[in-house]
Amino acid sequence: MKWQELGEKNCPVARSLSILGDRWTLLIIRNAFLRTCRFEDFQKQLGITRHLLSDRLNRLVEKNVFKKVLYQEAPKRYEYKLTEAGLALYPVMLVLTKWGNTWMNEDGSHPPLEYVHKPCGHKTSPELCCSECGEEIHVRDMMPLLDRLQDNAESPLTGISS
């Protein structure tokens, strides 16, 4: 499969990964949530090569995850800001944070990154909940709606665990 084809798939996971699925993109977005927004800063913080950074930022602008905002005329300089689509990736960050805290810390050598939920004031662990009943979502409780074509490579994510 050519990589570019992913963006055309009917599976939304495949489409998401056509943008996010590489070694640097999600790290760049992580740092954007940390308020980094300039080329030099991304480069220094991540240690990514300038070439790749330029490439990824352009792609993310093209895909509407970042927007360029002029902050200086002559020479023109832009900040890379998260768009609405980019900000909507915050759950991805939190979910990866939680997974990394729990499962990428076998020897306990890394202190977990924890958050306080300001409105209620408690240390919180984000959970995926049903928008209708509010209950926490478990793998086997989810049933995909299958009014779609189903060839092997594009079948939707089922809710049934192995």
Partner DNA sequence: CTCTCTGCGTTCTAAAATGGAACTTACCGT
Partner DNA sequence: ACGGTAAGTTCCATTTTAGAACGCAGAGAG
Residues interacting with DNA, by CB under 7 A? 1-3, 22-24, 38-41, 47-52, 54-55, 57, 74-75, 77-79
For residue 55, the minimal CB distance to a second copy (Å) is: 15
23 touches a second copy (CB under 8 A)? yes
20 touches a second copy (CB under 8 A)? yes
Distance CA 10, CA 153 (A): 10
Q: Which of 13, 1, 5, 18 is nearest to 155 (CA)?
A: 13
For residue 54, the minimal CB distance to a second copy (Å) is: 17
Query: Is residue 129 a contact partner of residue 137, using CB atoms and an 8 Å limit?
Result: yes
Closest to a second copy by CB, 74 or 104: 104
Residue 74 contact among DNA, a second copy, none, beta carbon within 5 to 8 Å by kind: DNA
61 touches a second copy (CB under 8 A)? no
Question: Which 3 state secondary structure label does DSSP give 61?
Answer: helix
**Residue 43 CB partners (closer than 8 Å, separation 6+):** 50, 53
